């Protein structure tokens, strides 16, 4: 216990030392302060005084609560100290690079963020890496999950389990530090990031193997190609009804294995993981009309073959398998061709059919550095994808978008946040910081939003295709201005710490940010007293 306490103290000191540097970083909070022209006038016209005043009013109304506490008589000349020790709101990040940074000091800095800046962490449960072999879940850490292994790895990004650590050591670490644990993800249609290859070999029976081979263009090493864009025209022309009749056993077996996967995880973890993304990015099947309720297969344009109505089935299995206290989330990147206005329709449809959906996950990724530069410069683009990315972080659009999804009347988790810098220059880093500050303030102000999870904490630690400069820290774990912007909000602006004098009845009253507080004082005899209260 002494060793663990010492390590924890060192970790906290590490973060405090980093935070102490924040006073040297001057991040403009409005156009008048942006004397160096980091952001364009057009940008600040969107984030104008009226928008900022609304954000501040909403933060005051939605994130604070009134408190009253009786301390009685106190020692002369002393005050009652009110110290906020935790947030009600979830400030999170994924913890996909647990002990993978190749250096003990870097790993220590990385892990120390969880339990200090971050009170919530998303743990990787991607099926193809969590269960690489049928029936063997990667829960316990092995040598190739150790700090020593990663220190010796010449190209860590090429390792098959990069960003996919064994789950038990990560969860145990988080539990020791009082960090909320969120699991991502149980069901997802992505064939390279989620679905294990052995699943196809297991679920195809008899002549269905040959039939399935006619649906794909290029076999992979195990004889099965599962990349949707490599499907043949024969597959493309098939209706879901024709596909149902073509591979009925395969579809039935897939559905069985999806259920088995959820049940095994639920049996192992119970309520140790507080919440789960039950299904991830299933909206394409809903908007394309490929749910195929009562059928065998769903046939989406991006993820190809999946079990019919798999979002519904996933929630039905999960709500029976997990304890009632575990939150079940739906997760989506609801932009692009999926149409944001359909997300709440999908959610309400699933609920109407008896699905327990506790939280709505909402991804927001600014992956493209070129788009971020356009946003900062206040320039437009003929590229429709760029236009959408620029639109989705404008205050006007965000208010409209929230109102659409809030029709489902459920809490919202900003579940995956990527804000890339346009480049590695000082201006580029400051652009990332300013956008981060404004978006977090907007999201924090919204009553429906219960948490925000930054996706890749460290530069160069994203998935293939994700930007290398979207972290809060450099690859050497040096803090960037975006870290300081977030730390300033979470650790200073949005924390209540006061010294108060009781009234004549020995009562203190205050308004503070929601969360847990320690009240400490000296009574009339000079004896130290303390109590804990929670503002909700």
Confidence at residue 7, expressed as pLDDT on a 0 to 100 scale: 44
The pair phi, psi for residue 215, each rounded to 5°, is -90, -15
Q: Which fold has domain 2-61+86-188+248-491?
A: TIM Barrel (3.20.20)
Distance CA 443, CA 398 (A): 9
Distance CA 421, CA 517 (A): 36
Enumerate the β-bridge partners of residue 231.
216
The pair phi, psi for residue 460, each rounded to 5°, is 75, 10
What does the angle CA 186 – CA 189 – CA 191 come to, to the nearest 5 degrees?
Answer: 110
Confidence at residue 336, expressed as pLDDT on a 0 to 100 scale: 64
Listed by start position, the domains of the chain span: 2-61+86-188+248-491, 63-85+494-536
Nearest to 126 by CA among 171, 162, 156, 157: 162
- Percentage of the chain exceeding pLDDT 70: 93
SS3 478: coil
Each residue's pLDDT tens digit, 459-472: 999 998 899 999 99
Helix axes 426-445, 369-377, angle to 10 degrees: 80
Query: Is pLDDT at 124 greater than 50 in this prediction?
Result: yes
The whole-number average pLDDT for the span 132-145 is 97
Confidence at residue 293, expressed as pLDDT on a 0 to 100 scale: 93
DSSP state of 309: T
pTM over 0.85: yes
Confidence at residue 24, expressed as pLDDT on a 0 to 100 scale: 60
- Percentage of the chain exceeding pLDDT 90: 85
Are the C-beta atoms of 62 and 446 separated by less than 8 Å?
Answer: yes
Enumerate the β-bridge partners of residue 414.
452
Query: Cα 425 from chain centroid?
Result: 27
Nearest to 404 by CA among 309, 456, 340: 340
Confidence at residue 511, expressed as pLDDT on a 0 to 100 scale: 98
Confidence at residue 25, expressed as pLDDT on a 0 to 100 scale: 76
309: left (phi over 0), alpha (psi -120 to 50) or beta: left
Distance CA 486, CA 214 (A): 51
Burial class (CB in 10 A: 0-12, 13-18, 19+), 66: exposed
pLDDT band at 3 (very low <50, low <70, confident <90, very high): very low
Q: Which residue has the tokens 């810098």?
A: 421
Confidence at residue 337, expressed as pLDDT on a 0 to 100 scale: 58
Distance CA 55, CA 51 (A): 6
In which element (H, E) is residue 40 found? none
Confidence at residue 10, expressed as pLDDT on a 0 to 100 scale: 45
Burial class (CB in 10 A: 0-12, 13-18, 19+), 494: buried
Please give the CATH number for the structural domain made up of 63-85+494-536.
Answer: 2.60.40
Each residue's pLDDT tens digit, 195-228: 998 999 999 999 999 999 999 887 655 445 455 5
Query: Is pLDDT at 385 greater than 80 in this prediction?
Result: yes
pLDDT band at 279 (very low <50, low <70, confident <90, very high): very high
Confidence at residue 341, expressed as pLDDT on a 0 to 100 scale: 83
pLDDT band at 1 (very low <50, low <70, confident <90, very high): very low
Structure tokens at 69: 């506490």
The pair phi, psi for residue 382, each rounded to 5°, is -85, -10
Ordered alpha helix ranges (H), 21-48? 41-46
pLDDT band at 71 (very low <50, low <70, confident <90, very high): very high
User: With b meaning 16 or more CB within 10 Å and e meaning fewer, what string describes 445-471?
Assistant: bbebbbbbbbbbbbbbbbeeeebebbb
Q: What is the DSSP string of 384-419?
A: HHHHHHHHTTSHHHHHHHHHHHGGG---EEEEEEEE
Distance CA 258, CA 198 (A): 13
Confidence at residue 301, expressed as pLDDT on a 0 to 100 scale: 81
Query: Is pLDDT at 306 greater than 90 in this prediction?
Result: yes
Q: Do domains 2-61+86-188+248-491 and 63-85+494-536 have the same CATH topology?
A: no
Enumerate the β-bridge partners of residue 64.
513
Query: Is pLDDT at 9 greater than 70 in this prediction?
Result: no
Confidence at residue 228, expressed as pLDDT on a 0 to 100 scale: 53
Are the C-beta atoms of 457 and 97 separated by less than 8 Å?
Answer: yes
Q: What is the mean pLDDT of the chain?
A: 92
Query: Is pLDDT at 134 greater than 60 in this prediction?
Result: yes
* From 116-125, 288-297, 444-453, the region with the lowest mean pLDDT: 288-297
């Amino acid at each position: 216990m002494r060793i663990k306490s010492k390590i924890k103290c060192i970790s906290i000191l590490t973060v405090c030392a980093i935070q102490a540097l924040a006073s040297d970083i001057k991040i403009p909070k409005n156009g008048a302060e942006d004397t160096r022209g980091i952001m364009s006038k057009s940008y600040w016209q969107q984030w104008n005084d009226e928008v900022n005043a609304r954000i501040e009013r909403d933060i005051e109304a939605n994130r604070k609560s009134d408190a009253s506490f009786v301390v009685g008589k106190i020692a002369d000349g002393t005050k009652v100290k009110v110290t906020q020790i935790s947030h009600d709101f979830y400030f999170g990040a994924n913890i996909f690079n647990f002990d993978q940074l190749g250096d003990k000091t870097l790993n220590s800095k990385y892990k120390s963020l969880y339990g200090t800046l971050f009170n919530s962490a998303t743990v990787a449960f991607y099926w193809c890496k969590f269960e690489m072999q049928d029936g063997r879940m990667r829960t316990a850490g092995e040598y190739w999950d150790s700090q020593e292994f990663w220190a010796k790895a010449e190209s860590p990004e090429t390792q098959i389990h990069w960003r996919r650590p064994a789950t038990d050591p990560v969860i145990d670490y988080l539990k020791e530090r009082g960090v909320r644990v969120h699991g991502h993800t149980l069901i997802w249609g992505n064939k390279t990031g989620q679905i294990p290859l052995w699943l196809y070999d297991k679920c195809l029976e008899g002549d269905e193997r040959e039939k399935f081979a006619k649906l794909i263009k290029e076999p992979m090493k195990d004889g099965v190609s599962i990349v949707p864009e490599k499907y043949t025209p024969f597959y493309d022309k098939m209706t879901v009804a024709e596909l149902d009749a073509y591979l009925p056993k395969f579809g039935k077996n897939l559905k069985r294995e999806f259920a088995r996967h959820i049940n095994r995880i639920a049996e192992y973890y119970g309520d140790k993981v507080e919440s789960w993304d039950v299904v991830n990015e299933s909206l394409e099947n809903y908007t394309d009309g490929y749910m195929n309720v009562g059928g065998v297969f769903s046939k989406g344009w991006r993820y190809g073959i999946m079990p019919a109505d798999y979002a519904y089935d996933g929630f039905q299995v999960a709500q029976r398998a997990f304890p009632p206290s575990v939150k079940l989330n739906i997760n989506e990147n609801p932009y692009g061709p999926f149409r944001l206005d359909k997300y709440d329709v999908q959610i309400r449809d699933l609920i109407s059919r008896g699905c327990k959906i506790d939280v709505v996950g909402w991804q927001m990724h600014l992956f493209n550095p070129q788009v971020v530069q356009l946003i900062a410069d206040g320039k437009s683009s003929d590229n429709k994808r760029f236009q959408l990315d620029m639109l989705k972080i404008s205050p006007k659009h965000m208010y409209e978008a929230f109102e659409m999804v809030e029709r489902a009347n459920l809490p919202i988790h900003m579940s995956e946040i990527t804000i890339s810098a346009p480049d590695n220059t000082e201006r580029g880093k400051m652009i990332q910081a300013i956008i981060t500050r404004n978006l977090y303030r907007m999201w924090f102000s919204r009553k429906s939003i219960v948490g925000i999870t930054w996706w890749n904490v460290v530069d160069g630690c994203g998935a293939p295709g994700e930007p290398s400069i979207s972290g809060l820290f450099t690859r050497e774990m040096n803090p960037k201005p975006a870290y300081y912007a977030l730390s300033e909000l979470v650790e200073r602006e949005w924390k209540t710490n006061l010294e108060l004098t009781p009234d004549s009845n020995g009562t203190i009253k205050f308004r503070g940010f929601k969360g847990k507080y320690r009240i400490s004082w000296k009574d009339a005899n000079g004896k130290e007293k303390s109590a804990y209260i929670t503002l909700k």
